[in-house]
Amino acid sequence: MSDDITTVIDSAPESRRSESARLRRDQAGYAPAPSTPNYPSAPLPTAVAAPVLPSEPLASLDARNITAWFGDHQVLDRVSLTMPAGVVTALIGPSGCGKSTFLRILNRMHELVPSASLAGEVLLDGVDIYDSGRKLTEARRDIGMVFQKPNPFPAMSIYDNVIAGLKLTGVRASRDEKDYLVERSLTSAGLWKEVKDRLRAPGGGLSGGQQQRLCIARSLAIKPKVLLMDEPCSALDPTSTRVIEETMGELQKEVTIVIVTHNMQQAQRVSQQCAFFLASQGQPGHIVEHGDTEAMFGAPIDPRTYDYVNGRFG
């Protein structure tokens, strides 16, 4: 199954929220104006600067009792995990324990597989993305995905790669709006300074690390509330990995991030919360332990967590 198209539509414009954001305004008191001579009034200014409003709150993601199958084969068993707003959550565990399946369930990509099925809920700010009244494309726009292997559209320019999601989701934008969106998204992905003078060059001509950041920019272009990252650095050299990790640190100010990684040092560096998945002796994947990253690596509760983070298996 190709991930090229789904990567783009996994990015998201504004989403429905369970409650509208409430703005706090100071109540200003006005004193009576002093008496003045009846001079002609001064002309009003032609324009008034708009007030700077607080940014919209970041979104939280809550998976409840997720159980998943491929045909008759159960791959996850009653997995529950809250991914707080503005936090990087790392999913760790050996290969085959259901981490990537869980990640794809979080934006409804699991159902792309004909034999796949699941039970449970995924709540984005309290609203179930699997609700029958919620559109599939809406869920994938709200919750974007970056895959293990960078997959820009090679024949498209860097510029067109960034705005590709607009076309696929039917979002109309003027040329000025597109220009602004490209610069903002590439800046957020840490790529603008490197490519600003060659935006019309093919996206496939970038290095591996640059291509991955281009995919991140493409996901950010439609303003997702959550960004899922499936081993985004596994195919990159150490220098590119460092840049991606620095980018993630900046992005968590804008989006909630969930990352699958087999690199324990990376999980420690980039995340504030960890969840340890395990599937042993033919049993479906489940979460052994989750919590604060520092505590998970420094003083885990379950001995299996201690053994895994210290490289004794996996």
When pLDDT is averaged across residues 147-161 and rounded to a whole number, the result is 92
Range in 99-103, 171-175, 188-192 with the lowest mean pLDDT: 171-175
Per-residue DSSP letter, 205: G
Range in 23-27, 220-224, 256-260 with the lowest mean pLDDT: 23-27
Q: What's this model's pTM, rounded to 2 decimal places?
A: 0.78
Range in 93-107, 129-143, 266-280 with the lowest mean pLDDT: 129-143
Q: pLDDT of 79-88, one tens digit each?
A: 999 999 999 9
Rounded alpha-carbon distances, angstroms, from residue 310 to 211, 261, 307: 32, 15, 5
pLDDT of residue 30 exceeding 80, the answer is: no
By three-state DSSP, how is residue 53 classified? coil
Residue 215 belongs to some domain of the structure: no
Helix (H) or strand (E) holding 117: strand 116-124
Residue 188 belongs to some domain of the structure: no
Percent of the chain scored above 90 by pLDDT? 62
Q: pLDDT of 130-148, one tens digit each?
A: 998 888 888 888 999 999 8
Q: Which domain holds residue 263?
A: 4-13+58-153+226-238+256-309
Residue 290 belongs to some domain of the structure: yes
Residue 52 belongs to some domain of the structure: no
Residue 277 belongs to some domain of the structure: yes
Residue 168 belongs to some domain of the structure: no
Rg of the chain (C-alpha set): 23
* Structural domain count, the chain: 1
CA–CA distance, 77 with 66 (Å, rounded to integer)? 7
Placement of tokens 């490519």 in the chain: 195
Mean pLDDT, the chain, whole residue set = 82
Residue 282 belongs to some domain of the structure: yes
CATH of the domain at 112: 3.40.50.300
pLDDT at 20: 31
Identify the band that residue 27 occupies on the pLDDT scale cut at 50, 70 and 90.
Answer: very low
Residue 187 belongs to some domain of the structure: no
pLDDT at 3: 46
